[in-house]
């Protein structure tokens, strides 16, 4: 699949994503505030099947959120994710204690992987990603609190 996707829009699966994303962006533009609900589906031409397809699955987790819950609600999820990713990166640089530095780097890596994996698939709504995200926020907040109260260096 990777070798065929390097052909760009000549590859049917890449072309299917282009059609899917085009439809998603069009629908998001039609209802940017409220979204369409968590059970919403889209219709787009699928060049792999050579037919119009209706699906509730989206291959981009960010579009998934914007489409289903609207931009304002999606930002309530995405902005804290970016905020805690930034804070974990920042504190992984300034903390000297090896245990807490490694802990902060580990959870920075987890958050980055969730962000990256969310581009080709929907991760933000899976039970595992929600659990890892909440755990990362809690541990990073705890490490920052310890650092700022001078209990670690």
pLDDT tens, per residue, the chain with 153 residues: 555 556 666 788 888 888 999 999 999 999 999 999 989 999 998 888 889 989 888 889 999 999 999 999 999 999 999 999 999 999 999 999 999 999 999 999 999 999 999 988 888 778 888 899 999 999 999 999 999 998 887
Measured distance CA(147)–CA(51) in Å, rounded: 57
The label of the residue with tokens 């209706």 reads: 54
- Provide the pLDDT for residue 122: 83
Q: What is the pTM of this model?
A: 0.82
> What are the angstrom distances between the C-alpha of 127 and each of 19, 77, 134?
28, 15, 11
Measured distance CA(139)–CA(107) in Å, rounded: 8
- Provide the pLDDT for residue 9: 62
- Provide the pLDDT for residue 62: 93
| Structure tokens given for 7 | 């052909």
Nearest by Cα to 65 from 55, 78, 54: 78
| Structure tokens given for 79 | 């902005």
């Amino acid at each position: 699949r990777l070798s065929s996707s390097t052909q760009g829009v000549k590859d049917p699966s890449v072309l299917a994503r282009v059609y899917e994303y085009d439809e998603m962006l069009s629908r998001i533009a039609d209802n940017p505030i409220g979204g369409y609900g968590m059970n919403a589906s889209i219709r787009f031409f699928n060049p792999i099947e050579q037919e119009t397809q209706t699906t509730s699955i989206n291959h981009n987790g960010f579009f998934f959120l914007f489409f289903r819950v609207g931009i304002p609600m999606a930002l309530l999820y995405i902005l804290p994710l970016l905020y805690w990713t930034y804070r974990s990166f920042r504190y992984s640089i300034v903390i000297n204690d090896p245990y807490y530095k490694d802990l902060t780097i580990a959870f920075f890596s987890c958050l980055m992987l969730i962000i990256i994996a969310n581009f080709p698939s929907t991760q933000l709504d899976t039970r595992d990603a929600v659990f890892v995200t909440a755990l990362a926020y809690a541990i990073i907040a705890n490490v920052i609190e310890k650092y700022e109260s001078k209990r670690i260096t």
